Structure 1
């Protein structure tokens, strides 16, 4: 899959209100595509136009990158929304509309022999009037959903002789190390000191060549990129790469196959790979609520600013949700589905309280990041409407310190 360098801003539709973007603002007029293309020739601010493959040449604006789609795959408006999230390839060729659901379904089959089908429970715990559904993805290999994206990346591409390299706050590094060991590849992993001894020990136990760096995730990513450039190793991005997002999307394909009937899904957000997988799979068919710690809220800040921005990172969940900037693909998907995506933040004490209640009431032991989505419910930050069916994803279980760590273990 070619690397995405820049996001497509918007697309145009036929016989629907125009959805091209001029200076970042939706056009919205009820005029034809021909009219909008004529406007584009004067304004010249389009980055892309979505067209059916049968559209005549006169409809195509030379200054816009044309995104073709096959008729019959949903409607043109859906295509326009999805096409926002795909961009120009590193080789300069035009971007094509990505069939997210098709790719996720293919990935689910590809990685099925290597990942754990995680259980789902319905519970009336936590003082709620109505039951909620929990998916226990913290029971995935290496303790988080990250194994899905790692296996999809490794199985879907050609791994060079130099092996793999990844930067991680902890969980992604463990997943890459585990997948590499399982498939017989070498892996170098860079993690920041805030990853903590439990996650560092897990990565080492999975056989990776590990280097701990000072600072936060962004500092580890700089090291990983330098190693990639020096050696030719394959970079496995933690959240902002199509193969990673498609892999994470298999969690929701699996959940649907398990009979998910919820109207709304609450998901914790760090760099955005997991929630991007959810948005890619559901395509606006479910309400998705993004939950972030107040002290590490890259998506929330980006949506408020109208573009990805750097944020300060700290707090109890920072070693899992502490991305300094939201991934570009996640941001574009959230923008494209803004009518079905809500962003909320919760304080650290709400996260630790939800973590405690998961253990006390359901005997589920998760790390702070794994309890962050539930914290929106237990704290009242998100209050479902009457009759609204709600589901929560528990994303990680690598708590620190490890409660059953062997004394005097070398980490």
Structure 2
């Protein structure tokens, strides 16, 4: 039995034994993409990360065993909503985490708000989660479209990348990412010459890349994610965009994407991350453990799933209950621990932490497997995330 399956079986068996003895388990649901475009950046690795958090916590909360369950939401809002509704109504799930794809997260958030259940979103990136469609029971751990737009945009424009063209995934994340990045480009003194949208999971980027090439833009920006980003970068090399002098910026690039591409194709890309496995002693130690179970270094999504699960468990222990209102209040009052770096949870549910801008190394610069990034600059939390005074969240504005 693989480590992933064994850990899940052990946790489930412990919980079932306790249930048979009349003790109701605490249940954590991990809502993942197991086979689609985002499976490598989250997927089974996200469930492993949640299990590691439970194990590091001791396996029990308030004298109850903790059970981790997972489901593939197929990147479909209706499928995801049905899963979490069943989890809440029938299976007694107390908290749901991971949750990739912005449209899925917004749909699930509506269900969780209705049911008064906690979401610890460590994957989806839309700022709407803590703004216009906010919930008092959501904590947003993933870096969002606003924060991702800041670091790379400023650095590239300052380095001469003044004209941009977007290749954008045609769903909520892509639209939000392009808007946030466009605002950042204009604020930095650049211009946007055009954009084109593509469906999720497309295998042929030819027409989109030709449009970008024909625009004459100095920078081609990818407002997509996962396999779509990898495919676009690979085909850009084949179409000669980079050889022709155009730069490529991936707004949401994961270390697993770089690993799939290889440094020869990915070199020079700018990457904004809150987490990198080689950041400090704590990230290196945790990532080595994760690698031993998953065979890959963790993505920031997987690391955030671990941190989010850990924070929820600590807050529930402090609150003495798994009640959503009490636990979210405790989470917002407690400092976060971002692998040794302190952070906080704002009252709108936005988790605040510093990010870093990295540049992908050339093959000759890499000294070991997974040694992929060179740090360019720190992006302080107050620079990266939208300020609270700009919030449109109803329980913040009172409207």
Give the TM-score, by structure 1 length. Answer: 0.25
Higher relative contact order (CA 8 A, sep 6+): 2
Higher share of residues assigned helix: 2
